[in-house]
Each structure stands twice: as C-alpha cells, then as structure tokens.
Amino acid sequence: MNWQNAIITRIETLSPRVKSFFFRRPEPFSFRPGQHVLLRLTAPDGYRAQRSYSIASAPGLGTAEELELAIERFDDGEVSPFMHDVAQVEDEIEIGGPIGGHFNWSPEDGGPVLFIGGGSGVAPFMSMLRHRAAIVSQVPVVLVFSARLREDLLFFDELSKLAASGDGFSLMVALTREAGAHPFRAGRIDTEFIAGIVGAMKMPVRQVMICGSHPFVETAAEGTIAAGIDPAIIKTERYGATDVQAEVRRLAGALKR
Amino acid sequence: MVTRGFAGKAGNFDQSMRLPPGQHVVADFPVLTAGPTPRIKTEDWSFTLKDGIRPVKSWNWTEFNALPQTRMTRDIHCVTTWSKFDTAWEGVLVDDILGDAGIEPPTGFTFAHSYDGYTTNVPTADLVVGKAMVALRYEGKPIPPDHGGPSRLLVPHLYFWKSAKWINGLQFTQKDELGFWELRGYHRYGDPWREQRYTND
Ligand SMILES: Cc1cc2nc3c(=O)[nH]c(=O)nc-3n(C[C@H](O)[C@H](O)[C@H](O)COP(=O)(O)OP(=O)(O)OC[C@H]3O[C@@H](n4cnc5c(N)ncnc54)[C@H](O)[C@@H]3O)c2cc1C
C-alpha cells in the first residue's frame, strides 16, 4: 500500500450527518471513478484505526486536483466521529490507495447504466458522473438516489444541474422518511419502481451498480433482480457491516412512526 | 505519523494480543461481496472436487451432509478492518472431502469456485490438516444467504474474503493463479498478522 500524509484543505457540510473533506496530496495519483482510499489514524501509543472511503471527486485531467471524500457520521463509530468533530483544515491525515478494481465505471465501459445509491453510498457515483460530465460523454445514465429526508440528499444541486443539461443523465429520488416532497418518490425503492425505470430506458440496461449500507444494497439488489435484471450485470459496494440488532431496532422505530 | 487529536475509541485496545494489526473488534458480521446475494436451494446444490480440469468427485447436499461434520470456533478478520471473535461454524473439513474422494492433494495450489462465478486462490497447505472447512452451519443454524449460505469456505487464519461464499467447488491447479479479488487489488495470500491486505503489502 502506498501511504502519504494528505492535508485537509477544506471541509464542507453536505447534510446534517455528512461532511465532505478535501485533501491535497503531496504525491498525486490517478484513479478510476469508483475506487476508494483508506484513511489511517494513529494514536500517540501507536494504536491505529483504518477505514475505507470512496472517492467522490472526478479523476480530473491533471493529478493535482483535490481529492473529495464524503464522510457520514456514525455516532458510535471511531473514525467518522473523529473526522467530523476533531479533524480540521490544515491537519495531516494518512491516506492509502487508490484501491478497488471492481466497482468502477467510466463512459468507455458503455451504457445505459443504472446507478442506485443509498445515502453516503452516492459518493462513488459522484466521481463517475463528474468524470462523465468532464469528458462530455452522452452515455445514458440513470441515478436512483435514496435518502431519508430531503436534507439528506447530498450533492442535490449539482446532480439537478447535471440532470437538466439534457446530455443523457437523469436523476430519480426516493425519500424513505418524507412524504409529499414532490416530485420525489416517497418510500423505499422497490421492484415496481426499478421495473418502471428500466422499462423507460430506450436500450436494455448494460450495467447496474448499487452502493450503500449492507441492508440497502440487499434490498435494492433484490428489487432489481425481481424487476428482471440479470444478476450477472449487477455490481455492489457495501459500506457497513450487517448489524442485525440495529436493523431490527431501526425497523421497529420506523413502524412506530 | 501520529494523527493530531486521535486517541482511538476506548475499548478498541483491550484485545490487542488477539487482534491482528489495523483491525478492530465488532459485534456485527462483516460483509464484502462484489454482487447481489445468490439464492441457492439445497435441492440444487452440489460440490465438485477437481484436479485441473478433471472432476474427481461430486456430492449433492444429502451426500455432503453425510460426510463427517466438524465444529470450529474461530476469530475472523475482514480486510476492511472488522474482526469478530469466537464465530462458531460447523461443516466438512477439507481433509475429510479429500478423504472421501480418496486422494492426496495433487498440487500445492487450490482455487475455490462459487455459485456467483467468483473465485479465490489459497495454497493447498492452508486448507489441510484441520485448517479449513466447507462450512454448512453458523452458530448452529444454516448459514444465511448474505453470509454465503448454503455453504462457504472457512479459512479463518486468512482475511475473510478468502473464505469464499456460496462455494461449489475446489480445484487443484498447477500454479498459483489469482482469484477474483486478488486480480482486483487484494493480496495474493492475505495473512492478517502480516497485514497483507492489498497487492503490494
Ligand atoms: C469500499 C468502502 C467504501 C466506503 N466509502 C464510504 C464513503 O464514501 N463514505 C462513508 O461515509 N463511508 C464509507 N464507507 C464506510 C466507512 O469505511 C466506515 O465503515 C464508516 O465511516 C464507519 O466507520 P467508523 O469508524 O466511524 O465506525 P465503526 O467504529 O467502524 O463502527 C461503528 C458502528 O457503526 C456501524 N456502521 C458503520 N458503517 C455503517 C454503515 N454504512 N451503515 C450502517 N451502520 C454502519 C457499525 O456497524 C458499528 O455498529 C465505505 C466502506 C467501504 C468498505
């Protein structure tokens, strides 16, 4: 692994739970959209914690561009609360990578493609879409973005602009905890919703990519397969471990509402 | 480099003797999968042992369950830095699969094949003498599909992607070929104690 001390140049709040961190890399590297890097934190006694984060920025034309990581805060976590609460502009953070040779897509790979992102799982798609826009590609792409509330829609203005440009990219939003936020769909993405999107595509979908927490990816993948998509064209990236207890609590909470 | 202001989360030091470098303990179960979860019915399940391209023996679910069943409780370590202690598995030791097929390992390299088309490479020496099994049960119950059920390889002393989910065969190969994740940036061998996570580690 190639490690380097990257410098935080900017921190932006994207939503109540997600901040983007921009890094300047002393040794720039090129990467493919969809790849991730490792952040490694070291305590004075040598204890280390390391986590993976998808690169949200585009590879760029040069290699000097800042690297953007969109990090969601998990209150009981180790690395994400540190990044949100302690890390500041000018701090040095160790970065390793880039890694990941599977969950990648560039316009050269062709389309139409369907991206399905849940919450911070939209990050790798930002890299792909930014790259697609930068090279003025017209490969058809649909992004289905699922978030809890409107305020959790990361990069929404940028995505809306991209979708309005008429270059073959369209955006569909589903809000799981907010009803009546027209024109967004209320509720989870399900088979019917995916079948509708796939049916409206002019050509058969060539690749489906799903990214988010493990339960989100499971549900979206099930829905996609039930909508008649060949499992062999579905790629997934899963962010969290399955915490069965937490999932049960979460579902129970959602039912009470 | 020491990170300014980072002390580590309390509790993540405790088990350090048991915890490989760069890992932390979780109560959850790590999931690293390249695609959707395949649903395989045990009626349709089969397992094939191959020497190169030559099939040596195949078992259906009933036959495979009739092989000697062994229990193994082990710590598992996911390359994304999660570790989980004392996971309890039950299944058929690779030794017992070879025994039932009546062969000695013909080569030093093995490829594990899965239902979803994924593969991983493991040196044969890491699969035999009680080191590895094809697991059929987790914590006394059938393995859930998203954790690799009905059957997954269990090679607990290597990073957990080596423990191929939805396994349907082992194949001996002449040379050390690279599997799915190994071709995509993960380490050829994957020893957690030597932190062999990525290709050049
Ligand atoms: C390839 C890859 C790319 C990733 N990219 C991103 C990214 O771009 N942005 C991002 O915010 N995260 C991303 N993650 C997740 C990230 O690596 C960490 O797991 C996350 O930041 C939590 O780390 P932590 O140290 O704060 O929490 P930990 O101390 O590791 O865990 C604390 C608790 O939070 C739970 N938890 C952790 N992650 C999730 C999750 N996603 N959903 C639900 N519960 C969870 C754990 O189960 C645990 O109970 C990615 C993960 C992988 C494997």
Say whether pLDDT at A245 is over 50: no
- Residue A106 in contact with ligand 1 by CB distance below 6 A: no
Task: Look at residue B10 in the predicted model and tell me its pLDDT.
Answer: 65
- Name which CATH class applies to B42-194: alpha beta
Task: Kindly list the distances between the CA atom of residue A62 and the CA atoms of A66, A105, B15, B99, B175, in Å, as whole numbers in the listed order.
Answer: 10, 19, 44, 58, 40
Domain A3-99 has CATH 2.40.30.10: yes
CB-based burial label for A61 (10 Å; 0-12, 13-18, 19+): exposed
Q: Which residue of B has its CA nearest to A99?
A: B185
B66-B69-B73 Cα angle (round to 5): 160
Q: Contact A112/A142 with Cβ under 8 angstroms?
A: yes
- The residue that leads in pLDDT, A115 or A247, is A115
Say whether pLDDT at B95 is over 70: yes
Q: What is the pLDDT of residues A191-215, one digit of tens each?
A: 999 999 988 888 899 999 999 998 8
Q: A42, B2: Cβ pair inside 8 Å?
A: yes
Architecture of domain A107-256: 3-Layer(aba) Sandwich (3.40)
Torsion of CA A155, A160, A161, A167, to 10 degrees: 120
Contacts of A77 in chain B (CB under 8 A): 9
Beta bridge partners, A10, equal A22
- Rounded Cα distance, B139 and B14, in Å: 25
| Residue from A218, A213, A253, A216 nearest A77 by CA | A213
Query: Counting atoms of ligand 1 from 1, which one is nearest the CA of A100?
Result: 1
- Rounded Cα distance, B185 and A1, in Å: 10
Q: Contact A150/A178 with Cβ under 8 angstroms?
A: yes
Tokens read off for A152 = 């959790």
Mean pLDDT of B180-187: 91
Give the pTM. Answer: 0.86
Q: What is the pLDDT of residues A20-75, one digit of tens each?
A: 999 999 998 999 999 999 999 999 988 889 999 999 999 976 556 799 999 999 99
- Residue A77 in contact with ligand 1 by CB distance below 6 A: yes
Say whether pLDDT at B14 is over 60: no
User: B13 to chain A, minimum CA–CA distance in Å?
Assistant: 8
- Rounded Cα distance, A49 and B193, in Å: 15
- The full set of domain ranges for chain A reads 3-99, 107-256
Torsion of CA A183, A186, A189, A192, to 10 degrees: -80
Task: Look at residue A248 in the predicted model and tell me its pLDDT.
Answer: 43
Backbone angles phi, psi at B83, to 5 degrees: -125, 145
Task: Look at residue B18 in the predicted model and tell me its pLDDT.
Answer: 87
- The full set of domain ranges for chain B reads 42-194
Task: Look at residue B11 in the predicted model and tell me its pLDDT.
Answer: 60
- Residue A123 in contact with ligand 1 by CB distance below 6 A: yes
Is B14 in the A-facing interface, judged by CB distances under 8 Å?
Answer: no
